[in-house]
Amino acid sequence: MGKQWIYAAALLAAGAVGWAVNGWRLGEQMAEQRAEHVDLLRRTAEANAQIILQQQADQQAQARRLAELDTKHTQELSHALQENRRLEDLYSRADDDRRRLRIEVRVARNDAIVSETTSAGSVGDAASLELGGAAGRAVWDIRRGMIEDRAKLEYLQSWAKTTTDGL
């Protein structure tokens, strides 16, 4: 029985040593995995930071392009409206004869002259059509509205193009 106890004690000691060595080995593996995980997290954070920096730079560039676009179209609209005001002032300072707004029109002959024969309409000579003062002022108002609408449309089209180009 003495030898059996020695074998059992040796077996227990070998098991304890094996258990301790296995624990150290697993501890080292976990430390390596932890270090790899920390390194992976660091590289992921650096990549995310680069992406965020690039997105910020793109956003700032797009904001700059939109600001330039806004300035350009605002200046164009301002110049067009100034020109319209200049023309309107010239119109309002003119004498009555020149203030009448004349529009050259082409009128079909059968519309200009009532004829007894029924024939197909033909294009006649140019005729002059005069508008009264209120109608003349309305033309300037309509022209100003058209200038503003065209400028707004061009601005919105440029804005849409600029924002989709940045995507």
Structurally, the chain folds into a number of domains equal to 1
18 falls within a domain: yes
pLDDT of residue 50: 96
> Does a structural domain hold residue 110?
no
Whether residue 116 is contained in a domain is answered as no
- For the CA atoms of 22, 27, 28, 30, the dihedral, rounded to the nearest 10 degrees, stands at 120
- How far is residue 165's CA from residue 159's CA, in Å, rounded to a whole number? 10
Q: Is residue 29 part of a domain?
A: yes
DSSP bridge pairs for 126? 106
CA–CA gap between residue 125 and residue 121 (Å, rounded): 13
Residue 24 domain-assigned?
yes
pLDDT tens digits, one per residue of 111-127: 554 444 444 444 455 56
Give the residue from 132, 11, 166 showing the smallest Cα distance to 158: 166
CA torsion 38-44-47-51 (nearest 10°) is -140
Residue 10 lies in a domain: yes
pLDDT at 117: 44
What does the pLDDT look like over 140-163, one tens digit per residue?
888 889 999 999 899 899 888 888
Residue 165, in any domain of the structure: no
Tell me the pTM: 0.51
Give residue 19's domain range. Answer: 1-33
Q: For the chain, what is the mean pLDDT?
A: 80
28 lies in some domain:
yes
Q: Could you read off the pLDDT of 39-86 as tens digits, one per residue?
A: 999 999 999 999 999 999 999 999 999 999 999 999 999 999 999 888
Note the pLDDT of residue 89.
83
